[in-house]
Amino acid sequence: MGRRPNPSELLPGTLDLLILRTLAPGPMHGYGIAHRLQQVSDDVLQVGESSLYPALQRLLLNGWVKAEWGASENNRRARYYTLTAVGRKQLVSEREEFTRMIGAIQKVLDTA
Amino acid sequence: MTPSVQTWLDRAWRRFVFRWRRTQLDRELAEEIESHRLLKEAENSRAGLAPQAARELSNRQMGNIEMAKEDCRDMWSFLKLERLIHDLRFAARLFGRNPGFTAIAVLSLAIGIGGNAAMFTLVDKLLVRPLPYFEPDRLVRITGIFPRAAVSFFQQQSRTMDVAAVSTGTGYNLTGQGEAIRIVGSATSANLLSVLGAPVARGRAFEPGEDSPGRDSVVIISDALWKNKFDGDPAILGRVITVNGMNRQIVGVMPPGFSFPSSNVEAWLPLRLDPSNFLESWGTGWVPFVSRIRPGANVQQAQAEVRALVAQFKKTFPYPMARDWNASSTAIPLQDDLVGDIRGKLLILFSSVGMVLLIACTNVASLLLSRATTRRKEIALRVALGAGRLRIVRQLLTESVLLALIGGGLGIVLGMSALSIFKSVLPASTPGLAAAAIDWRVAGTIAALALLTGLAFGIAPALSASQIDLAGSIRTGSQRSTSTSWTRLRNFLIGAEVALTVLLVVSAGLLMRSLYTLSEVHPGFEPQRILTVRISPNQSSCTERAACIALYGHILDSARGIAGVKDTAIANTLPLDANQPYLAVDIEGHPKSADYPAPLVWSGAISPGYIRMMHIPLLAGRDFTEADGANSAGVLLVTPSTARLLWPGENPIGKHIRRAGEPQWRTVVGVVGDVRQYSLAQDRPAWVPGAMYMPYAQSAREDGQIYAAMTLLVKGSADSGRLGHEIRSLAEEQDPNVPVSQVQALEEVVSGSIADFRSTIRVFLSFAGAAILLAAIGIYGLVSYWVTQRTFEIGVRVAIGAGRPRIVSMVLAQGLRVALYGVGAGILAALAMTRFLASLLYGVTATDPATFVAVIALVLAVTITATAFPAWRAARIDPVKSLRVD
């Protein structure tokens, strides 16, 4: 089993950013978020549950997402996360910051 | 991306809510994760796995989910806070288990911190906080006192200052408002309040020109007088009251707390400035000046100007003035002037209190150090269970800070009572003293002080405890393995403590000796069984000399008629009294010149029986008799010190003196013993070089009038309570408009004159007592700890034949060695420091050997006592048991 990169080991805050982005289209539960991340990244990013749930709690605590109970696909109770207005703003600014960071790293790799 | 305060607050609030709903969140998270797992399980089933295998795989896929839950729980709580609370709870439990240790530590700190709280309040209020006037740093006092003619001279000539005159408070009669009372009034130039920049609470300040004759029938009263005497009558303005027989209209009421020139002043009256009245302008009622430096000028310019103006003004005197008159006059900041007398006293008190706090801290630090050593096993165990060094240090610091905070809390309570004791040591009229109270600012400072103290005395023990050789400590459980540097630190701390104690006890000892010497001083008279009452008619009622002579003749006659009265007399002033009359006199054969101006002489006016009644010895010549009346030749009594000063080597009997300005000479007919007039420590201040007595009927004030206010003295054999009551009613019956003071026993006046001194000593004694107690505790702790550490060694010594006396002397030597170093350092410190006490000492030098020896003996005795108990314990060590212990 090859080691899969965990977003939390990338840049600090990257996992939060990815979760925020994933939630941008609409509410999703934890399993959905993990699934979606894996799918969109063509299986490159596999988010472990042990880092996903603390990250979600952190976002809740920061007020960037809110959680509501709803029915899941298999008719059980699942918690759906929705981006709040603050979270949306946070997404924009973190995304800019991330792009800037990546740009900088890219530049260093190219020239140094 | 620093979060704003708003988001930070939001987050803290949410965290708080989360913390509150923690159990529910925990349940929800578990459910959420389980639902996640089920979805995974379903996915695995869809991939074709058997149900059992699908479940197992999903469980594995979830990874270490308990860790994640733990991370979440951390997020829902105030982890650091909760750890702190845990530490605190642990510390509290620990304190509960060692009540003795806790009580000693907390009390030590409470004493130190409480004393500091009180002193800080005083120093802050009296020395640091600016005066409550407009731009107080521009206010200066011009030192020296000036005749009233100087007021307008300075006001007109000064370019750098606005000058106001304000007399120190003197007694005035307030009559026509029920019972006649004496109030303290201050005569001021009309511009005083505008110079100070102090507003009135009601009414108005004096208007320019209200200090000139004819317009001066106005008065401003204090808030206290308004409330107490006039019941806070809102219609007070415009009311006419009689002050010293003159009708004055109340034009203003000062706000509460206005205390200039001192806090006992109850009324401000215009200073009469009448250039046409020679005596008033140049002779009587000299006043101090206070000024405001004008914008653009500075203190240096003002000081230069004062020197120039004094020199200029001196030339305008209509009579020869001493060449060096007010030569040292200058302008000093008003605040320095107001606190000048008490600054030294305050600083001495402040440093003593600081020392007590230091000793307390040292003690607690040393206690904690020894406890840290005995707790090594516990700490080692905690380290073994995974506590980091930082965690251990934090736990120990939490304990010491908690101790300090409890001590601080108790200290504030103690400080409140300490403050009232300290206040009693300072003169009650000190401006701002009454208002000094422990406020939030002080409480805040105390809290900070307590925290700092806790950290200060906790850091060394905590570090010492955290340096633990884990394996060694647990294996042997030994309490002997402490590194020598910490032991040395402890020895040093206790030594320093002893040194500070020696310093404080020496100070207290010197003051005690001064008090003893003072109380043994013979005041020059015998105050036993003499009752006194002050009768103060208005001076205006004595313009006719005969009226007052008749009044007091009548009072004396009636007093003699009271049953139980053996002797009566009157005098214009009592020894050790606040009234100190003096006259400028001419001396026959000594022409006045700038080099030899008229000397000031303390001048008593007495009835003929006074000298005999007071048992003042008649040394030469004769006493006054009833024949020395208003119309007979002027006679005087002088004291031997005066005779020696004025006519060295000559017989004073038959010499002549007169009041400066009067035509007739008075003849010295007798010499009577010197009396401690001004204070028990001092006969007269240097600027009053002589003393004389005149018969009342012939007596004269500086304006030539006879004294109106006199003190009646009655010597009785009967019950003094009844007698006091009778003489007071006798005095009151004369005239309801004449204020009569409370009856006082002369003995009380004498002992009261050193009451301030006594209370200073009480304070010092309590400091010294606290210091000795703390030092004894410190030494006891040190030595008993030493014994505990060396149980094994002592056991070996006993086993190989050391006798008990040998062991006891070994332990005693341990305590004495530290004490001796401390005593040595303390003596050096005391030799250097006690000279700052010199102004408080009487009849003893600041390096009095007897006191030093006594203190050394005392401190060593205390050391031996404190060492005796552990020494006794050491002597009883059973070698068999001690060798088996570890």
Give the nearest partner residue to A54 out of B31, B40, B71, using CB atoms: B71
Tokens of B716: 């009785």
Phi, psi dihedrals of residue B201, rounded to the nearest 5°? -80, -35
Which spans in B123-179 are helix H? 149-157
Does position A16 have pLDDT exceeding 70, yes or no? Answer: yes
Is the CB of B68 less than 8 angstroms away from the CB of A79? no
Give the nearest partner residue to B68 out of A29, A50, A72, using CB atoms: A50
Is the CB of A54 less than 8 angstroms away from the CB of B75? yes
pLDDT tens digits for range B519-539: 788 888 998 889 999 888 888
First to last CA, chain A: 34
Pick from B682, B681, B741, B670: nearest CA to B710: B741
Helix (H) or strand (E) segment spanning residue B728: helix B720-734
Burial of A93 (0-12, 13-18, 19+ CB in 10 A): exposed
Report how far residue A57's alpha carbon sits from residue A62's, in angstroms, rounded to the nearest whole number: 9
Sign of torsion over alpha carbons B485, B487, B492, B493? positive
Q: Which of residues 26-85 of A touch B (CB under 8 A)?
A: 29-31, 34, 48-54, 57-58, 60-63, 72-74, 76-79
Beta carbons of B697 and B628 less than 8 angstroms apart = yes
Phi, psi dihedrals of residue B688, rounded to the nearest 5°? -120, 85
pLDDT tens digits for range B37-52: 888 888 888 888 888 8
Between B711 and B474, whose confidence is greater?
Answer: B711
| Cα–Cα separations (whole angstroms), residue B799 to B95, B347, B371, B794, B804 | 37, 56, 28, 8, 11
Tokens of B125: 């209020």
Does A11 map to a domain? yes
- Please list, in sequence order, all residues whose beta carbon lies within 8 angstroms of the beta carbon of residue B46, skipping any fewer than 6 positions away: none
Phi, psi dihedrals of residue B63, rounded to the nearest 5°? 70, -160
Give the number of domains in chain A. Answer: 1
Give the nearest partner residue to A58 out of B10, B62, B75, using CB atoms: B75
Report how far residue B9's alpha carbon sits from residue B596's, in angstroms, rounded to the nearest whole number: 80
pLDDT (0 to 100) of residue B488:
78
Report how far residue B886's alpha carbon sits from residue B789's, in angstroms, rounded to the nearest whole number: 12
How near does any CA of chain A get to the CA of B72, in Å? 5
Angle A14-A17-A19 from CA coordinates, rounded to 5°: 110
Q: Which of B35-39, B216-220, B358-362, B818-822 has the lowest mean pLDDT?
A: B358-362
CATH code of the domain covering residue A101:
1.10.10.10
How near does any CA of chain A get to the CA of B70, in Å? 9
Helix (H) or strand (E) segment spanning residue B188: strand B181-188
Does position A3 have pLDDT exceeding 50, yes or no? Answer: no
The mean pLDDT of chain B is 82
The sheet that has B161-165: what strands, in order across it?
Answer: B161-165, B287-293, B139-146, B331-333
Q: Inform me whether the C-beta atom of residue A3 falls under 8 Å from chain B C-beta atoms.
A: no
Q: Which of B212-221, B370-379, B735-744, B832-841 has the lowest mean pLDDT?
A: B370-379
Give the nearest partner residue to B40 out of A29, A31, A54, using CB atoms: A31
Beta carbons of B568 and B670 less than 8 angstroms apart = no
Neighbouring CB atoms inside 10 A of B232's CB total 11
Question: pLDDT confidence of B1, banded at 50, 70, 90?
Answer: very low
Question: pLDDT confidence of B312, banded at 50, 70, 90?
Answer: confident
Highest mean pLDDT out of B131-145, B243-257, B588-602, B713-727: B243-257
Does A91 map to a domain? yes
In chain B, the residue whose alpha carbon lies closest to the alpha carbon of A66 is: B14
Q: What is the largest CA-CA distance in chain B?
A: 143
pLDDT tens digits for range B128-164: 677 778 888 889 988 888 888 888 888 998 889 999 9
pLDDT (0 to 100) of residue B656:
93
Does A1 map to a domain? no
Question: For the packed helices A30-40 and A14-23, what is the interaxial angle rounded to 10 degrees?
Answer: 100
Report how far residue B409's alpha carbon sits from residue B104's, in angstroms, rounded to the nearest whole number: 15
Domain containing A54 equals 7-111
Report how far residue B211's alpha carbon sits from residue B222's, in angstroms, rounded to the nearest whole number: 19
Is the CB of B11 less than 8 angstroms away from the CB of A73? no
This prediction's pTM: 0.64
**Please, which residues bridge with residue B140 across strands?**
B291, B333
A-chain residues near B33 (CB < 8 A):
30, 49, 53
ipTM of the complex: 0.84
Q: Which of residues 72-91 of B touch A (CB under 8 A)?
A: 72, 75-76
pLDDT (0 to 100) of residue B427:
67
Residue type, B621: G
Beta carbons of B863 and B779 less than 8 angstroms apart = yes
In chain A, the residue whose alpha carbon lies closest to the alpha carbon of B64 is: A50
Does position A2 have pLDDT exceeding 60, yes or no? Answer: no
Is the CB of B68 less than 8 angstroms away from the CB of A54? yes
**Please, which residues bridge with residue B533 across strands?**
B712
In chain B, the residue whose alpha carbon lies closest to the alpha carbon of A52 is: B68
Beta carbons of B738 and B536 less than 8 angstroms apart = yes
Q: Inform me whether the C-beta atom of residue B28 falls under 8 Å from chain A C-beta atoms.
A: yes
SS3 label, residue A38: helix
**In whole angstroms, what separates CA A12 from the centre of its chain?**
12
A-chain residues near B35 (CB < 8 A):
29, 31, 72, 76-79
Best of A57, A64, A81, A93 to disrupt the B interface (most B CBs within 10 Å) is A57
Does position B471 have pLDDT exceeding 60, yes or no? Answer: no
| Cα–Cα separations (whole angstroms), residue B795 to B31, B613, B803, B809, B878 | 66, 76, 11, 15, 7
pLDDT (0 to 100) of residue B578:
67
Highest mean pLDDT out of B47-56, B348-357, B578-587, B609-618: B609-618
Pick from A77, A16, A82: nearest CA to B28: A77
Give the nearest partner residue to B1 out of A31, A76, A97, using CB atoms: A97
Between B636 and B579, whose confidence is greater?
Answer: B636
Report how far residue B108's alpha carbon sits from residue B118's, in angstroms, rounded to the nearest whole number: 16
Does position B694 have pLDDT exceeding 90, yes or no? Answer: yes
**In whole angstroms, what separates CA B738 from the centre of its chain?**
37
Report how far residue B653's alpha carbon sits from residue B543's, in angstroms, rounded to the nearest whole number: 32
Give the nearest partner residue to A61 out of B14, B33, B68, using CB atoms: B14
Helix (H) or strand (E) segment spanning residue B451: helix B440-466
Tokens of B637: 């009594």
| pLDDT, average across residues B346-371 | 76
Highest mean pLDDT out of B3-7, B467-471, B800-804: B800-804
Residue by residue, DSSP assigns B282-335 as IIS--EEEEEEEPTT--HHHHHHHHHHHHHHHHTT-SS---TTTTTT--EEEHH
Is the CB of A29 less than 8 angstroms away from the CB of B36? yes
Beta carbons of B571 and B711 less than 8 angstroms apart = yes
Is the CB of A79 less than 8 angstroms away from the CB of B32? yes
A-chain residues near B62 (CB < 8 A):
49-50
How near does any CA of chain B get to the CA of A108, in Å? 23
Please provide the size of chain A in residues.
112
Burial of B299 (0-12, 13-18, 19+ CB in 10 A): middle
Does A2 map to a domain? no
Question: pLDDT confidence of B412, banded at 50, 70, 90?
Answer: confident
Report how far residue B837's alpha carbon sits from residue B760's, in angstroms, rounded to the nearest whole number: 12
Question: pLDDT confidence of B811, banded at 50, 70, 90?
Answer: confident
pLDDT tens digits for range B93-132: 877 777 777 887 788 778 777 877 887 787 777 776 777 7
| pLDDT, average across residues A66-72 | 85
Phi, psi dihedrals of residue B565, rounded to the nearest 5°? -85, 125
Does position A49 have pLDDT exceeding 60, yes or no? Answer: yes
SS3 label, residue B602: strand
Looking at chain B, the whole-number percentage of residues with pLDDT higher than 90 is 17
| Cα–Cα separations (whole angstroms), residue B703 to B49, B277, B280, B587, B764 | 125, 11, 9, 18, 46
Burial of B211 (0-12, 13-18, 19+ CB in 10 A): buried
Q: Which of A81-95, B325-339, B646-660, B799-813 has the lowest mean pLDDT?
A: B325-339
Pick from A51, A57, A62: nearest CA to A90: A62
pLDDT (0 to 100) of residue B4:
67
How near does any CA of chain B get to the CA of A79, in Å? 6
Question: For the packed helices B389-425 and B755-789, what is the interaxial angle rounded to 10 degrees?
Answer: 160
| pLDDT, average across residues B261-268 | 87
Burial of B55 (0-12, 13-18, 19+ CB in 10 A): middle
Residue type, A102: I
Report how far residue A42's alpha carbon sits from residue A36's, in angstroms, rounded to the nearest whole number: 10
Question: pLDDT confidence of A8, banded at 50, 70, 90?
Answer: very low
Give the nearest partner residue to A53 out of B61, B68, B76, using CB atoms: B68
Beta carbons of B570 and B710 less than 8 angstroms apart = yes
Helix (H) or strand (E) segment spanning residue B240: strand B240-243
Is the CB of B32 less than 8 angstroms away from the CB of A74? no
Report how far residue B408's alpha carbon sits from residue B799's, in angstroms, rounded to the nearest whole number: 48
Report how far residue B822's alpha carbon sits from residue B504's, in angstroms, rounded to the nearest whole number: 13
Report how far residue B294's alpha carbon sits from residue B636's, in angstroms, rounded to the nearest whole number: 51
B-chain residues near A29 (CB < 8 A):
32, 35-36
pLDDT tens digits for range B714-738: 998 767 788 888 888 888 888 777 8
Pick from B330, B192, B161: nearest CA to B261: B192
Give the nearest partner residue to A49 out of B14, B15, B62, using CB atoms: B62
Phi, psi dihedrals of residue B165, rounded to the nearest 5°? -110, 140
- Please list, in sequence order, all residues whose beta carbon lies within 8 angstroms of the beta carbon of residue B547, skipping any fewer than 6 positions away: B541
Does position B853 have pLDDT exceeding 50, yes or no? Answer: yes
